[in-house]
């Protein structure tokens, strides 16, 4: 004990440290069984030094207290004493040029949770930003977190200070599931190599190229035939959109598409969507803040762990099939490219390679998750908006008839469809399916906008505050395609359009998602009219988002009527 405290500087913190250690060593309580007389003599000197109170007075008070109350009362009082010290010591912290961002005063343990709505955390943080500015501190439970709001602040942090804000803050639930490999939740050299590999090979297998466009067009035709089976009756588009979009990334990863009634395929798709929705649920957010308590009280943790494990087994089964027929002369997709690289490293005697099985599995799952649910959810919002705003749907379909006619739409047509392009962008802006960027972490100490932020600090960017920044958008709070149109009707690119985040951690599949959104949206509007189900008016269609890992529409049905 004496050797331990000699290494610490003197002051109130040291005295509190001595008191707590001595309390731990000598105040032996067996709650509910018996109460042993504490050996309190060793506490006298440090306690009196810290408080300045006479030793006799302290000892007399402690004797009376300890002999008069139950063990539970004693323990509760000790907790209250420590909470009091928390406030005293926090107020005694020196203020200076290394002062961190301001923020609301946290409570012990729970932090600022009582001021935050975990169901709509983005809205709660935007409200706090009106008081504390665009860079401020909140405590997510016991964890100190810096929040960034507004276009200029988020862009400066993630682009101008890309290295300083470039690490990923690990999530408890994904760490437990061994998901800190791959490209989404990893850091360091492994992340750099996996991201480089994924971007290179996605491009090699068509991302942003004509071959990928052809795959999307082909999938559109399968989807059109499926939607025609409903003959204009109301139904839920979710499963069909999920299947169609998932097939695009499957063709790039595994080198093949699946039939919509393939049970193995639909199971993976549905489980992936479940994981994404569960990951953003209030219970999982609380579990990430309080992992030790969460293991006891949050059933969603076990459910998510089980789903992730089952999904891993399904992907492993698909990967093992590829291994059995692997040929370096015929690379079928991203997974084959990884396996071939892995084989080459093994033959070369490279033992510290990042091309190991964990990275393969998690990278595939990252690409599958990021490349399916997000695009599918955005498309479902787009068609819901078309049913909600029929005049806008009229304008889109009129532009398609005037410019395209009945031929197949191609990506190069985008430049001649400014209103349609504006509607797609406005859908992404208003739907705002990722209101908070996946948490970052500072890689080093940094002075940012006059605030000192320590290395290792979690950082949350509120993308809602960017996509609804009143200084950047003409009408930020309504669905208004004019936000992306110039006065003469031409498409207007907006710097504050950041649905894919920004900087080195921006979505690696952005170009693929943009191509999918354009071709699926325009092709389906060439063939169908989207409208509310019988008995429901446009005004009654609910645009309240469903909270989860992404902000998806509430369960709903639409009539998808074939056009003549």
Bridge partners, 560 (sequence order): 530
- CB of 320 closer than 8 Å to CB of 337: no
Query: How many whole angstroms separate alpha carbon 296 and alpha carbon 49?
Result: 40
DSSP labels for 145-189?
A: EEEE-SHHHHHIIIIITTTTT-EEPPPHHHHHTT-SSTTTS--HH
Per-residue pLDDT reduced to its tens digit, 135-188:
999 999 999 999 999 999 999 999 999 999 999 998 888 888 777 799 999 999
> How does the average pLDDT of the chain come out, rounded?
85
When pLDDT is cut at 50, 70 and 90, the band that residue 97 belongs to is low
pLDDT of residue 119: 87
Checking if the pLDDT of 451 tops 90, the result is yes
Ranking 119-128, 245-254, 280-289, 433-442 by mean pLDDT, the lowest is 280-289
Per-residue pLDDT reduced to its tens digit, 462-476:
999 999 999 999 999
Query: How many whole angstroms separate alpha carbon 119 and alpha carbon 115?
Result: 12
Ranking 208-212, 488-492, 539-543 by mean pLDDT, the lowest is 208-212
Query: How many whole angstroms separate alpha carbon 44 and alpha carbon 19?
Result: 9
pTM of the predicted model, to two decimals? 0.82
Checking if the pLDDT of 96 tops 60, the result is no
Query: How many whole angstroms separate alpha carbon 89 and alpha carbon 92?
Result: 5
pLDDT of residue 130: 97
Mean pLDDT calculated for residue range 320-346 = 94
Strands 440-441 and 458-461: antiparallel
pLDDT of residue 352: 82
The annotation status of 507 as a binding-site residue, yes or no, is: yes
Highest mean pLDDT among 23-32, 162-171, 296-305: 162-171
pLDDT of residue 153: 98
CA 84 to chain centre: 35
In 229-281, which residue ranges form alpha helices assigned H by DSSP? 238-253, 263-279
pLDDT of residue 176: 80
Strands 135-140 and 440-441: unpaired
How many other C-beta atoms can be found within 10 angstroms of the C-beta atom of residue 192? 14
Checking if the pLDDT of 31 tops 50, the result is no
When pLDDT is cut at 50, 70 and 90, the band that residue 297 belongs to is low
Mean pLDDT calculated for residue range 298-326 = 91
When pLDDT is cut at 50, 70 and 90, the band that residue 293 belongs to is confident
Structure tokens at 63: 């004797």
When pLDDT is cut at 50, 70 and 90, the band that residue 245 belongs to is very high
Structure tokens at 9: 């500087």
Q: Catalogue all structural domains in the chain, each as residue range(s) with its CATH number.
A: 175-548 (1.10.630.10)
**Phi, psi (deg, nearest 5) at residue 330:** -140, 85
Mean pLDDT calculated for residue range 449-454 = 97
pLDDT of residue 84: 53
When pLDDT is cut at 50, 70 and 90, the band that residue 525 belongs to is very high
**Percentage of the chain exceeding pLDDT 90:** 68
pLDDT of residue 77: 53
- CB of 334 closer than 8 Å to CB of 202: yes
DSSP labels for 194-244?
A: HHHHHHHHHHHTTTTSHHHHHHHHHHHHHHHHHHHTTTT-EE--HHHHHHH
Q: Which residue has the higher pLDDT, 435 or 13?
A: 435
How many other C-beta atoms can be found within 10 angstroms of the C-beta atom of residue 328? 11
Bridge partners, 34 (sequence order): 30
SS3 252: helix
Checking if the pLDDT of 105 tops 70, the result is yes
Burial (0-12, 13-18, 19+ Cβ within 10 Å), 152 = middle
When pLDDT is cut at 50, 70 and 90, the band that residue 23 belongs to is very low
Mean pLDDT calculated for residue range 122-129 = 96
C-alpha distances out from residue 29 to 20, 69, 140, 229, 461, Å: 15, 12, 32, 71, 45
Query: How many whole angstroms separate alpha carbon 36 and alpha carbon 27?
Result: 8
Mean pLDDT calculated for residue range 3-13 = 45
Checking if the pLDDT of 30 tops 60, the result is no
Mean pLDDT calculated for residue range 495-517 = 93
Per-residue pLDDT reduced to its tens digit, 372-412:
999 999 999 999 999 999 999 999 999 999 999 999 999 99
pLDDT of residue 547: 84
């Amino acid at each position: 004990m004496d050797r331990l405290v000699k290494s610490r500087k003197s002051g109130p913190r040291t005295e509190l440290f001595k008191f707590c250690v001595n309390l731990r060593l000598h105040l032996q309580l067996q709650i509910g069984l018996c109460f042993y007389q504490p050996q309190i003599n060793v506490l006298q000197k440090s306690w009196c030094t810290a408080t300045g109170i006479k030793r006799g007075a302290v000892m007399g008070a402690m004797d009376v207290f300890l002999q008069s109350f139950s063990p539970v009362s004693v323990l509760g009082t000790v907790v209250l004493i420590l909470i009091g010290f928390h406030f005293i010591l926090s107020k005694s912290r020196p203020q200076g040029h290394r002062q961190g961002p301001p923020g609301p005063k946290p409570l012990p343990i729970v932090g600022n949770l009582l001021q935050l709505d975990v169901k709509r955390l983005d809205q709660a943080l935007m409200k706090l930003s009106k008081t504390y500015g665009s860079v401020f501190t909140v405590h997510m439970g016991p964890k100190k977190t810096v929040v960034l709001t507004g276009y200029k602040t988020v862009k400066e942090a993630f682009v101008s200070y890309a290295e300083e804000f470039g690490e990923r803050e690990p999530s408890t639930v994904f760490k437990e599931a061994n998901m800190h490999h791959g490209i989404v939740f990893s850091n360091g050299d492994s992340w750099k190599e996996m991201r480089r590999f994924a971007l290179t090979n996605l491009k090699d297998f068509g991302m942003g190229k004509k071959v990928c466009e052809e795959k999307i067009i082909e999938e559109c035709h399968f989807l059109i035939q499926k939607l025609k089976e409903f003959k204009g009756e109301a139904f839920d588009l979710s499963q069909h959109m999920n299947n169609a979009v998932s097939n695009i990334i499957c063709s790039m990863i595994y080198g093949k598409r699946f039939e919509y009634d393939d049970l193995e395929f639909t199971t993976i798709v549905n489980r992936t969507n479940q994981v994404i929705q569960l990951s953003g649920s209030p219970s999982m957010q609380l579990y990430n803040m309080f992992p030790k308590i969460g293991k006891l009280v949050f059933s969603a943790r076990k459910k998510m762990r089980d789903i992730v494990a089952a999904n891993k087994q399904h992907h492993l089964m698909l990967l093992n099939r590829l291994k059995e027929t692997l040929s370096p002369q015929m690379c079928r997709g991203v997974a084959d490219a990884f396996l071939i690289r892995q084989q080459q490293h093994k033959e070369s005697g490279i033992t510290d390679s990042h091309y190991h099985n964990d990275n393969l599995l998690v990278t595939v799952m990252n690409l599958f998750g990021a490349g399916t649910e997000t695009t599918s959810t955005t498309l479902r919002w787009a068609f819901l908006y078309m049913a909600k705003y029929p005049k806008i749907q009229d304008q889109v379909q009129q532009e398609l008839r005037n410019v395209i006619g009945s031929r197949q739409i191609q990506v190069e047509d985008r430049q001649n469809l400014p209103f349609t392009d504006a509607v797609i962008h406005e859908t992404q802006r208003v739907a705002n399916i990722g209101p908070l960027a996946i948490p970052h972490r500072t890689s080093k100490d940094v002075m940012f906008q006059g605030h000192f932020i320590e290395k290792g600090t979690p950082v949350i960017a509120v993308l809602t505050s960017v996509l609804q920044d009143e200084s950047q958008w003409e009408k930020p709070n309504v669905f208004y395609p004019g936000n992306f149109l110039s006065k003469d009707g031409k498409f207007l690119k907006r710097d504050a359009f950041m649905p894919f985040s920004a900087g080195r951690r921006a979505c690696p599949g952005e170009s693929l998602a943009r191509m999918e959104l354009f071709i699926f949206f325009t092709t389906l509007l060439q063939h169908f009219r989207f409208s509310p189900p019988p008995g429901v008016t446009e005004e009654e269609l609910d645009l309240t988002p469903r909270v989860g890992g992404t902000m998806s529409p509430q369960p709903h049905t639409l009539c998808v009527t074939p056009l003549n």
